[in-house]
Amino acid sequence: MVKASIEARGDLRLTRLTKTYGDFTAVDDLSLTIPKGSFFALLGPSGCGKTTTLRMIAGLEEPTAGSIHLGETDITTTKPYQRPINTVFQNYALFPHLTIFENIAFGLRRRGQKDVKEAVEKVLNLVELPHLAQRKPTQLSGGQQQRIALARAIVNRPALLLLDEPLGALDLKLRRQMQIELKWIQKEVGLTFVHVTHDQEEAMTMADTIAVMNEGQIEQMGSPADLYDNPETAYVANFLGQSNLIKGTISGNDGDSLIVDLYGQKISLPKNRSHAIDNSTYAGIRPEKFRISLLNTETRGNVLTGGHIEDVSYIGVSTQYQVEMPWGQELMVFEQNDDGVAPFNKGDAVNISWEPTFTFALRGDEDVTAGSQIEPEVLDEE
């Protein structure tokens, strides 16, 4: 069985995976299937259990309970070197005493593979650094080391490639570039990538499927668009971008829509976007979905009236407005500057409108601040 584990291929299946350290539960009864060939991201703040999950998949940490399957093979208790899984470590972990060539050849040589030279040269070409083969890791820049760490892992053609915050040490510009490159390389080599990150933008740019983790459990899983447009919890709504969450009561039905009463004003939203369990709810709308109009002008869709512009921030591509509503809540609105002027001024009395299909509804007993204070630097990258 041990011999067979290195040949295992197929979907990665985590079943009721749990890891505790004394009283602390890092990963809590986590079940998850990652399809073969996908680019999967585990997204969450530090301490949410995503890295522990990754280390258990790699075999560097032993699960307290649960099992890990690759295809039909149970790899839960096998050693890291018996798994067809390679990792790109957070700080790359290149061997400082070996040349770049020998770093990349390390895995191939351990498995006694032939044509090491050819394979290494091919992967060096893939990451566009063939001229660095004879250098030592310390002579390389951060971005180059990152690519070599990737090359060292993918040269082995693993069933699964794990990336632990692979771009965390790079500056913003390089990070953007590497995000695109990583995605391209994943398509090119067709391996399953499991990517761990706390950066929502990074996860959304690269992954086909994102699992948002919170306190050792998966909060919600889906495509980036699913998670963004139809979050099921306040945590997801706040952690991925920003949300306006308005307290309300579900007051009726209208075909496929629900009618929700928000402080006396009625709006509608699609039934399939409601995650409320009773009549009490929070209606959620992303700031860029709102449209502002002056009082007594024509509006379409859902409308909330009685707002006052409290603050205007012009930020180039868009203008951000803080609009104070009659019930005291400040809503955030992003308007594209496609007509070149900021048409509203501080103090203007306005209506806010949006398409009903852009609304989602959360449970009324949610903590509306969950997940919002975790990643303050996310905003300034928008």
Partner 1 sequence: MTQKLKDATIPTIPIGARIQRWIGRNLIRIYAIFAFTYLFIPVAYTFAFSFNDSGKSNLIWKGFTLGNWQNPCGAPEVCSALGNSIKIGFLATFFATILGTMIAFAIGRHKFRGRSTSNLLIFLPMATPEIVMGASLLSLFLVFKINPGFWPTVIAHIVFCISFVVVTVKARIASLDPRLEQAAMDLYANEFETFRRVTLPLVAPGIAGAALLAFSLSFDDFIITNFNSGTLTTFPKFIYVSAARGIPAQANVIGSAMFFLALTLVIVGQLVNRRKVR
Q: List contacts with partner 1 (CB under 8 A).
A: 6, 58-60, 79-81, 85-87, 89-91, 93-97, 106-107, 110-111, 136, 138, 152, 156
Answer for the pair 119, 42: CB distance below 8 angstroms, yes or no. Answer: no
Comparing CB distances to partner 1, the nearer of 75 and 304 is: 75
Q: How far is the CB of 260 from partner 1 (least distance, A)?
A: 51
| Residue whose CB is less far from partner 1, 22 or 96 | 96
* Minimum CB–partner distance for residue 263 and partner 1 (Å): 53
**CB-count exposure of residue 134 (10 Å: 0-12, 13-18, 19+):** exposed
Q: Which is nearer to partner 1, 106 or 358 (CB)?
A: 106
Task: Please say whether the beta carbons of 313 and 333 come within 8 A.
Answer: no
Reduced DSSP (H G I as helix, E B as strand, rest coil) percent helix, strand, coil of the chain, to 5: 30, 35, 35
CB of 55 to partner 1, least distance (A): 9
| Least distance (Å) between residue 162 CB and partner 1 | 9
Query: Pick from 359, 343, 267, 262: which is nearest to 309 by CA?
Result: 343
Residue 297 CA to residue 279 CA, distance in Å, equals 32
Q: Which residues contact 84 (CB under 8 A, 6 or more apart)?
A: 5, 6, 7, 8, 9, 70, 158, 159, 160
- Tokens representing residue 229 in the block: 């447009």
Cβ nearer to partner 1, comparing 90 with 305: 90
Least distance (Å) between residue 100 CB and partner 1:
14
Considering the complex, state which of residue 156 and residue 319 has its C-beta at the smaller distance from partner 1: 156
Q: Which H helix or E strand runs over 237?
A: helix 234-239
Q: Phi and psi (nearest 5°) for 320?
A: -105, 130
Comparing CB distances to partner 1, the nearer of 138 and 336 is: 138
**Considering the complex, what minimum distance in angstroms separates the CB of residue 380 from partner 1?**
30
